[in-house]
Each structure stands twice: as structure tokens, then as C-alpha cells.
Structure 1
Amino acid sequence: MNTTGSPAEAPEACQQLAASGHSQLIVLHYNHSGRLLGRAEPEDGGLGVLRGLFVAVSSLVVLENLLVLAAIVTRMRSRRWVYYCLVNITLSDLLTGLAYLVNVLMSGPQTFHLAPASWFLREGVLFMSLAASTFSLLFTAGERFATMVRPVAESGNTKRGRVLGFIGLCWLLAALLGLLPLLGWNCVCAFQRCSSLLPLYSKAYILFCVVIFACILATITVLYGAIFRVVRANGQKASRHPVRRKARRLLNTVLMILVAFVVCWGPLFGLLLADIFGSNVWAQEYLRGMDWILALAVLNSAINPLIYSFRSREVCRAVLGFLCCGCLRLGLRGPGDCLARAAEAHSGASTTDSSLRPRDSFRGSRSLSFRMREPLTSISSVRSV
């Protein structure tokens, strides 16, 4: 595309555009980053198959988490601390899907009609939702570790209050992290400090986010690694075959959690680091067309419900009962076993048939001087998280 002049040569004009909140500021930054190379005009951004795929991914994330959230809220009677953790994870993943859907629909030609504040809000809400999702995973891993490896006696109300307080803290930190560029940590008119992938974001801010997310990943890995060792040790001590089988399943779940997180987030970390430490010329040459990597990170929010929710029998019954009841209200009668399962879900939603109940079997093989305060229910298990 034909440029309107080098932005670096007209700082006064750039500052005037920034002060007035004009959308031409977006064009200047995208032009400097090389994101407009190959386009005849900024508006030449069509929908295309790739963006359609991104819309499909975000729609899958939204529908899947909406289903799980509705099932948990309406069908599960338990209000233990893990219930709030599951609701928090599902809600943050639902927001991630919605934010990414809005981001995709407002990208392309619409990008160059946005005011700078709207652009920062579009990207910031997506950063916030991704941060809320990872903070939720970290908090849940910490609670799993505290409950299973380092149990502390406390009343149910105290536990619930502490969990709700930490959930509120997760959302507060996520909102702050996502909105920092809108609040002033950006590179408006300071083009040499700008990212090539996110042309109005400062490389320093992106590095800060990468460090935060990398620390979260490392902490989650350490916590689940500790849980892994405990479960494996107790499984080896168990003399009964069913207990060993449940232990293996718990270990498989822990591995699924770690592998899914690393596979989905690892490429995004690598891409952002390449953007931060590579030159602008190198980034313009090699980092174009990498939007699918962000879609892969968002896809983690579709995998989370499968691991954190559907691996719990209690949540599975809640989802199945929710779906069957919906079909019955519409006058649709499914297979007999579906109706039977729906009835079972309605009558046994609060049962303690748990993916962490193997812990109760392990308890006899552990020489512990302390006493576990709470019975371990299905969604309080490693297998459900």
C-alpha cells in the first residue's frame, strides 16, 4: 500500500491524532508495523476462510462453556468450594470465547474505523479474559494442592469465604492486566517501542504479560507435579486393583491438564517472545499470518470444560440431565437410557461418587497424623480438575 508518510517524520501530526482520538492513528501504527503490506487499502481485509474458522472456534468455546455453566448452576446441588472453582473456570472461559468472537468480528476492515480507545478496549478485554482463565486454573490448582497435599482444618464458611475472595482477586488482577495499555502503558506515537503483532502495544508490556503467564504455567506445573507424585505413591501402596486403576486415571488427568496447557499456550509464548526480541524488519517478514496461534490459545478454553468438568461423574450427570430435560421440554423423547440417566442425575446430583474419591481409599495407606476436615466429593477430585 502507498504510505501517507513515515510516522517517525511527523510526531506532531501523530500527537494531534492521538489527542483527538482519530482512527487514522491506527493506520499509522499498522503501517509502521508492516501489517498493511500487501494491501491496496487498509479496508482491504475481507472475511476469508481463516476468519470464518476463528469464528467457529470462538462459537464452540462459547456454546460449550455456556452449556457446562448452565448445567452446573441449575443441576448441581453441591455448593462446596470446588463448585465455585468450576463456575469460575467456566465463566472465564466463556468470557474468553465471547471476547475472541468480538475481536475477530471487529478485526479486518473494521480495525481502521476504530478510535484508539476502542482498539485498546477490544484487545484489552481479550487479554483480560485470557488472564482470568489462566488465573482461575492457577487458583484451582493451588486449592487442589492445599486440599490434597497440605490440608488445613477450617470451617466450611471460612473455606467458602476465602475461595470467593480469591476468585474476586483473580478477576481484579485480570482486569488490571488487560486494561493497563488503555490506562497509559502503550506506545502511541513511540513507534520504535511498538510490537509488530499488536501495533499500539508496547513491547515492554507484552514482555510483562509473557513473564506473568510463564510464571503461572510454571506454578501450575509444580503444583500438579506435587499432586502427581502423591497420587502415584498412594497408587503404588494400594493393594486393591480398583484403587490402582483409579490412581492411574488420576495421573492421566493430571497429565492431560499439563499437556493441554503447554500445547495451547506454548506457541503463543514463543510468538510473543519472537516479536519482543526480533527486529521490526524481521517481524514484518516472518511473523505475518500467525493469528492461528492466538486461536490455539483460545481453544484451550474449549478443552478446559472437557478436563475440568466432564471428567467428573457428578458434572457429567448434571450436563446430561440438563440436556435431557431440555429435550423433554421440547417434546423430544430420546433413548430410554438417556431418560434414565436424566432421572439419576436429578436424584443423585449431590452424590459423592467422585473422581477424587480414590483419595479416601489412599487415606488408609497414608501414615498421617492430621485428620482431613472435609469429605472429598466428586468435583473435589484431581480427576475433575
Structure 2
Amino acid sequence: MSSSPGIRARENVDMMYISIETAIALASVLGNVLVVLVVCVNRALRDTTFSFIVSLAVADIAVGVLVIPLAIIISLGFNTEFYTCLFLSCLLLIITQSSILSLLAIAIDRYLRVKIPIRYNTIVTQGRAYVAVCLCWILSFLTGLVPMIGWNNREAQGNLSTSSQIVCEFTTVMRMDYMVYFNFFGWVVVPLTIMITLYAEIFRVIRQQLNRRAEATCDGERYYRKELRLAKSLALVVFLFAVCWLPIHIMNCIDFFCPKCDIPKSAMYVGIFMSHVNSALNPMVYAFRIKRFRMTLVQITRRCMLCKPAEPTPCPNRSPALTKKVDANL
């Protein structure tokens, strides 16, 4: 009887965890489905950058549809075979890797756009953008499935037969040296460092070009000002990714380098929440920071949710040239 209050408290924490995760999943799926819908509806947004943004949105949808439900299931500690639990845990890593690689692809795309603006359209074609998106996902699967080929905790579980069942928990099947050295240092810290360097260079080049007012034409100044606005929005997406994902990775490092250090379960839950809520934040950044995206989103909301007929907008039809120039609509 003395243990019942503790058990009840843990059940309350678990129910709160499940409720919050469910809300995050719904927000993530709804918001990112709208991102994909906006890009499909507005032809002016179908450029190479938004191809990578759609890839990122698909990864965020997968967070709501797959990652969060799997995280809830794993947190409940159900019984299953070792490799089944390991595969479910690897799926969580695959989605994370696809997100950060999509962000890296966006940073490289924007860097090329300001560094070589004249040759950009001939080098970065839509076809090559699709190939880059496919490579991001293939690489995500390859890196995320590394534990399946041996870098896992099977040996720590003793002599398990193929039919033996374990309590499925992430730390039970996943080795912390893989999570820290390979996943965090290799596939989070390194890409984030590259992205920070690229955006710093993007802002430097844009500022340099804007300072040459005497030499620059009005069109050139307008081009770089629009690039600056979009670069700030995308850099904010990277910043939010870092803020949301670093806590859980830092706790993994503490657990690995200081096994005696006790990390409260509530702190782990907060870290997991932050990593998942990042998927729901990106659509908000696009809606508040990118004008053309926001206008299309308002039109979709009026047409579909409020059952209002679409109002004619001069932007897509006023001038064919505007539909060809993505930057004019951003």
C-alpha cells in the first residue's frame, strides 16, 4: 500500500506526457500538411528552396504520424523482441536525420543563391534539387539504421534468443556511444556548424552587396534585400532546431560521460517535448515571416475552412513575369 502513491504519481506523469505528445503530434501534422498544400497551390513557391522546405515538412509530418506515437509506445515499456524494439528506435533517428539534412540542403541552396546569383539557375535546377532531396532521405536511412547492423546493446542483454522478449525502451537497445559520438557529434554538431558558417557567410555577402549602393542598381538592391529577409527566416528555423534538439542530446552526453549523474525523468520528458515541438514550430515561422506563404495560407483557410469562395488576387495573374520570379513574391 505504501507504494501506491508513487505508482499513481507516475501514472499521472505518463498520462500528462501522452496528452502533451498527442497535442504536439496533431499540431505538427496539421501545420506541415498546410505547408505542403501551400507549395502545391502556389506555383510561385515551387522553386528549389521550397523543394527542401517540403522535404522538411514531410519529415515533420512523419514526426507527428510515426515518431511521437512510437515514442509514446516505447515510453510505456511494452514487451517485444530485441530487434523489433531496435528498429522502432531507429525510425526515430531516421526522421531526425532527414530534418537536419534538409536544413543543411536549404542552407547550401541559399548560399549558392547569393554567392553565384548569375549562374545559380543553371547550376541549381529543379531536377538536381529533387535528386538532393532523395539523397538526403537515403543518407538518413543509412545513418539511422546503423544500429541494426551491430552497433547496439544486444550484447549487454546477455544471451538472448531470437524469440526472447525484452521491455522495449530506447536506452535498452540503443548504445549511448553511438548516440553521442556518431549521432550527436557526427550528424548533429557537424551539420549545425556548417549551417551556422553558411548563414554567417550569406549575411556577410548580402550586407556587403547592400553597402555598395553607389555601384548597385535598384534591381540588385531589391534582390539582396529579399534574399536577406528569406535568409533571416530560414536561419530562424535552424536556430529553433538547435534550441529544441540540443537539450536531449546534452542529456544523452551527461548520461554517457557521467553514468553516476542522475537525470530526472521530468527533465528527459521536457527534452523529448522540445525535440518534438520543433516540428510544429516551422509552419509558424513560414506563416509569420514569408509574406507570399502567409497570403496563400489565408486564401486556403478562407476557401476550405470557412467555406468562402476564392477571392481573385492580382498577384498570380497580374504579370506572367511575377510568377516566374519567386523572389518577387517573397
Secondary structure of 2:289's match?
Answer: coil
Q: Measure the CA separation in 2 of the matches of 1:307 and 1:350.
A: 28
Match of 1:264 among 244, 247, 255: 244
Structure 1 residues 250, 155: CA separation in 2 closer, same or farther (over 3 Å shift)?
closer
Confirm whether residue 57 of structure 1 aligns to residue 57 of structure 2.
Answer: no
Would the aligned equivalents of 2:38 and 2:297 in 1 still touch at CA under 8 Å? Answer: yes
**Cα displacement string for residues 338-357 of structure 1 (whole angstroms, at most 9, x for unaligned residues):** x54x645664798748xxxx
> For residue 192 of structure 2, what is the amino acid of its counterpart?
L
Secondary structure of 1:286's match?
Answer: coil
Confirm whether residue 128 of structure 1 aligns to residue 94 of structure 2.
Answer: yes
Structure 1 residues 91, 258: CA separation in 2 closer, same or farther (over 3 Å shift)?
closer
> For residue 184 of structure 2, what is the amino acid of its counterpart?
V
**Cα displacement string for residues 153-206 of structure 1 (whole angstroms, at most 9, x for unaligned residues):** 3765972222111111100111112222233220113269xxx96221112211
RMSD: 3.6
Structure 1 residues 258, 46: CA separation in 2 closer, same or farther (over 3 Å shift)?
closer
Counterpart residue number, 1:291: 269
Q: Answer with 1 or 2: which has the greater Rg.
A: 1
Structure 1 residues 308, 214: CA separation in 2 closer, same or farther (over 3 Å shift)?
farther
Q: Measure the CA separation in 2 of the matches of 1:349 and 1:118.
A: 56
Counterpart residue number, 2:178: 205
Counterparts of residues 146-225 of structure 1 (less than 5 Å) = 146-151=112-117, 153=119, 159-190=125-156, 198-207=171-180, 208-211=182-185, 212-225=187-200
Would the aligned equivalents of 1:318 and 1:349 in 2 still touch at CA under 8 Å? Answer: no
Would the aligned equivalents of 2:94 and 2:143 in 1 still touch at CA under 8 Å? Answer: yes
Structure 1 residues 349, 253: CA separation in 2 closer, same or farther (over 3 Å shift)?
farther
The percent identity for this pair of structures is: 21
Counterpart residue number, 1:305: 283
Counterpart residue number, 2:327: 377
Displacement of 1:70 after TM fit? 1.8
Displacement of 1:270 after TM fit? 1.2
Counterparts of residues 320-335 of structure 1 (less than 5 Å) = 320-327=298-305, 332-333=307-308
Q: Can you give the 5+ residue segments of structure 2 that lack an aligned partner in the other structure?
A: 159-168
Secondary structure of 2:250's match?
Answer: helix
Would the aligned equivalents of 1:128 and 1:179 in 2 still touch at CA under 8 Å? Answer: yes
Q: What TM-score results when the alignment is normalised by the length of structure 2? A: 0.78
Would the aligned equivalents of 1:46 and 1:108 in 2 still touch at CA under 8 Å? Answer: no
Displacement of 1:277 after TM fit? 1.0
Would the aligned equivalents of 1:92 and 1:129 in 2 still touch at CA under 8 Å? Answer: yes
Q: What TM-score results when the alignment is normalised by the length of structure 1? A: 0.68
Q: Can you give the 5+ residue segments of structure 1 that lack an aligned partner in the other structure?
A: 1-37, 354-373
Displacement of 1:246 after TM fit? 6.0
Counterparts of residues 215-294 of structure 1 (less than 5 Å) = 215-238=190-213, 249=229, 252-253=232-233, 256-279=236-259, 281-282=260-261, 285-289=262-266, 290-294=268-272
Match of 1:74 among 38, 41, 63: 41
Structure 1 residues 216, 184: CA separation in 2 closer, same or farther (over 3 Å shift)?
same
Q: Measure the CA separation in 2 of the matches of 1:218 and 1:273.
A: 18
